Structures are given as structure tokens and as C-alpha cells.
Amino acid sequence: MTATAKPDDLKCFYDDGASPPDTPLRIEAERAYREAFLDAAREAIRLEDCFEHLPLDRAWDERRHTRDAAEIELGQFRPDHIVAAARTRGRVQAFEFVAQARERGRDPGYSDQRLASEVIAPWGQRVAMWAATELDPACVSIPPRPDDDWPEPEVKPVAPRLELIARRVCDVPRTGNLAFLRDGTKPVIAAVEKPASPSPARPILPTLTLRQLVDQFPTLREPVIHGLLRQGETMNVISSSKTGKSWLVSDLALAVALGRPWLDAFPCEPGRVLIIDNELHKETSAFRIPKVMQARGIGINEVGDRIVISNLRGRLKDIVGLGTYFAEMEPGEYKVIILDAFYRFMPKDADENSNANMALLYNYLDAYADKLGCSFVLVHHSTKGNQSAKSVTDVGAGAGSQSRATDTHLVLRAHEQEDAVVVDAAVRSWPPILPRCLRWAFPVWTLDDA
């Protein structure tokens, strides 16, 4: 397709992720991805030193160049760009797997020779078998990793970092320092080809002048919850355990689904809502939401198809694992996605008190929101004890980065009167809000400024 393509023929987002091969174009993209992954794996094995001369940076340059070439105009891409994108993604991912295997093997003290012979070479055989498997239009086929069959340790290995755990599930850009790949190492495999000369350096960070920025983005993003949340943003809802957070966000889901004000204070734009709940059984959700509907005078025919619930209790997924789930969604399918409760979506080795770990998880959510064109609402708990003396951004169990990384940090704190709370929020793209009082009258919270 040439640059004369009609706007209706373009895609408004760059599709560079794994998707089930359920259309002819996606089948072509999946085949291109597998072929490129296999070619890159074989190239790494044939190198004189599969770690020293790994062309990882050059592969990333090619991937960025492919994206630039697919963009017809700002934010508009050729619809067939997914084939070229899949090809460069496969090449980058294969080289990343090799680099990560080397990084994992450094702390236990594995020699490069042992890694090449016992890890990388057998991995290449598994990759060839994977690439030849039949395409399944219903699911994404994940390539094998070098460390799927790790050798016996020479010393006890340390637990892998959260960043590496995340990369095993999602293909994310490399952010670590891989300067060790240029350290002196011994040749382990006979050379059959020399690495190509590096491509000219390309700018990594996209930049705009202030004039371009103001001209291209003259307004803020579209509101979702007026005063609190915009499209593509994330909002935390924080309170102590058993306060009624789930009832509160059920009320929020109904307000967004119908375009009604939430709590009679925050007007909502109408749109479909997805609730991903990892605490309640299906029976409990089927009981609770209609109770809130009854209290608000909402009939099932008004909202029955505008709210979708996924109960994951007993088959939990973490933030990273949700990436496969979200890859199947169409952008714009949902206005808001609610994750209840956030602590159960954390990877098992993540530390909620680690700023780095929490910031990484919010980076994933930002990427999902950008791809899906929606907003996320996260339901989380506060620490034990009296919260009244804390600032808004200090309420919430875990590292402080959770309040800094989100766009809206909304908290409920106990009022001196029974069955009442004070709702307050720190917001990023709205004027500051005034604290308001809510009173609990089963099954809903209502404003009670008196």
C-alpha cells in the first residue's frame, strides 16, 4: 500500500504484539514472526561467539525503522504493517532471549562455553520444532526460551529479577545495561559468517518542538469521569479492608455504562465496562451488582450488555499475564477496565514495597491503556491503622510509587461518625478536588456533606 491510501484504510495504532492467527493477514504475520525468530536463533548459534557479537542493538534499530516506515501520517499506519512488524519483533525477541540467558548465567558462574553448548544449541533445535508446528487460529503460540531446560547449577542460582520474569511473558523493550556482552570471551562455536557492519545510529527518543507539541495536541484527552479520570489514564481506589470498595466500584461501573454521574458528584461519559475480579465467585458478582442496580433504579435491560465480568478466582493471572488476555481485545471495546483487587494481580515475586517493582507494573498498565484506548481503575487496600493523619498520596499499602505512577489516587478514610467515610483524591490532569463525605446505606455509598 502506498502513501496515497485513504484514511479509512489506515490503522490508528501500531500493532506490534502477539495475536492469534485468525485472519489471512495475521496468519501471514505469524509465519513471518516464526521465520524471523528461527533465522535469528540460527544466526546466534553460528556466530563465532554467540554472546560477544550478538547484533541486538542493530535488530532494535531495524525494528524502530520498520515502525517509522509503516507510519503514513502521525498516528496512522498501513493496515498490512503487522507483517513487517512481526518479522522485526521475532528477530529482536530471539536475540533478547540469548542475551537474557547469558545474563541469567552470570551470577551462578556458568561459563560461556557451557551456556553455548548446553543451553543455546539445544534451544535452537526446540525453536525449529516450534516454528514448524501448525498454526492454531484460536491461540498465540509462544516460542521456547533458552532457559526452559536449564543445566544443573554450578552454584545455587539467585531468583531472577522481576524484569526478567516479565519478559518471559510479554515482549517488552530492553532497558537493562548489556555492556557485559562486549566483555572479552572465548570463542565457543566455529565461525561460519561474520557480523554485518552496524547500521548508522538512529535517534531513540521521539521528540517534538514545543510549537509542534502545542499544534498537534491542543486539548487534553477526552474525559471518562469528569474531575477524576481521562482516556488512557489509571485511577487507584484505596481504602482499608472490608470498607466496601467492591460495592463502590460496582456503582462506578454502572455510572460509566449508562453515562450517569457517579456518587452524584462526578459526571461519567457512557461506554462499556470490563470488571476483572479475582476475589469474588461468579455467584457473588451475580448477587452484588443487581443489588446496586436495584438501589439506583436501574433495570437489567438498560445495562445488561454494557458491563462484562471476568471472575478469575481460582485461576489467577498477574498484570503481566493479562497481556495475552488484552491482546485479543479490539481498541475502543471498553471505556473502563476495573481490576479488583490489585494485590492479587501482582506477580508472585513482586514486592509491593519496592518502588521499582510497582513502577514496572504501572508501566504495563500504561501500555495496555494506550493500546486499548481505555482507562484502568485499580482497587487496592490501605495499610492497617489510622489513616487520617496521612496525606492522600501516602494512603495505600506498598511503595510510594503507586501514587506517583497513577493519574488519580482516590482514597476513602474513616469519618468520626459510624458508617461514614471521607473521599479525597490527588489528580494529575484535573483541578484539585475538595474532600467529600460519603455515608454507607447498604448496598451503596451516597453523598452526605452535612
The pLDDT value given to residue 119 = 81
Give the distance from CA 434 to its chain's centroid.
32
Q: For 94-103, what is each residue's pLDDT tens digit?
A: 888 888 877 7
More confident residue, 67 or 369: 369
8 A C-beta contact, residue 339 and residue 300: no
The pLDDT value given to residue 228 = 95
The pLDDT value given to residue 70 = 84
The pLDDT value given to residue 93 = 87
Stretch 300-317: mean pLDDT: 90
**Rounded to an integer, what distance in angstroms lies between the CA atom of residue 253 and that of residue 374?**
13
**Rounded to an integer, what distance in angstroms lies between the CA atom of residue 450 and that of residue 436?**
10
Q: Identify the band that residue 299 occupies on the pLDDT scale cut at 50, 70 and 90.
A: very high
Amino acid symbol at 238? I
- pTM to 2 decimal places: 0.55
pLDDT at 432 over 80: yes
Q: Identify the band that residue 250 occupies on the pLDDT scale cut at 50, 70 and 90.
A: very high
The pLDDT value given to residue 234 = 95
pLDDT at 59 over 70: yes
The pLDDT value given to residue 75 = 65
Instruction: Write the CB contacts of 235 (distance below 8 Å, at least 6 apart in sequence).
Output: 225, 228, 229, 375, 376, 377, 378, 406, 407, 408, 409, 410
Establish whether the linkage from the previous residue to 341 is cis, with ω within 30° of 0: yes
The pLDDT value given to residue 336 = 97
The pLDDT value given to residue 273 = 97
The pLDDT value given to residue 214 = 86
Stretch 186-211: mean pLDDT: 56
Ranges of H-type helices in 111-239: 112-115, 121-131, 162-169, 210-216
More confident residue, 211 or 112: 211
The pLDDT value given to residue 239 = 83
More confident residue, 423 or 146: 423
The pLDDT value given to residue 193 = 41
The pLDDT value given to residue 118 = 80
Least confidently predicted of 63-67, 139-143, 200-204: 200-204
pLDDT at 206 over 90: no
The pLDDT value given to residue 12 = 66
The pLDDT value given to residue 198 = 56
Q: Identify the band that residue 175 occupies on the pLDDT scale cut at 50, 70 and 90.
A: very low
More confident residue, 191 or 343: 343
| Averaged confidence pLDDT in the chain | 80
Strands (E), 226-285: 229-230, 234-239, 273-277
Share of the chain above pLDDT 90, in %: 30
The pLDDT value given to residue 399 = 57
The pLDDT value given to residue 124 = 85
pLDDT at 395 over 80: no
Quote the longest CA-to-CA distance of the chain: 81
Assigned C-alpha cell, 393: 498520596
Q: For 12-53, what is each residue's pLDDT tens digit?
A: 677 777 778 888 888 898 999 999 999 988 888 887 666 677
The pLDDT value given to residue 247 = 92
pLDDT at 165 over 80: no
Stretch 307-327: mean pLDDT: 88
Q: For 403-413, what is each residue's pLDDT tens digit?
A: 778 899 999 88
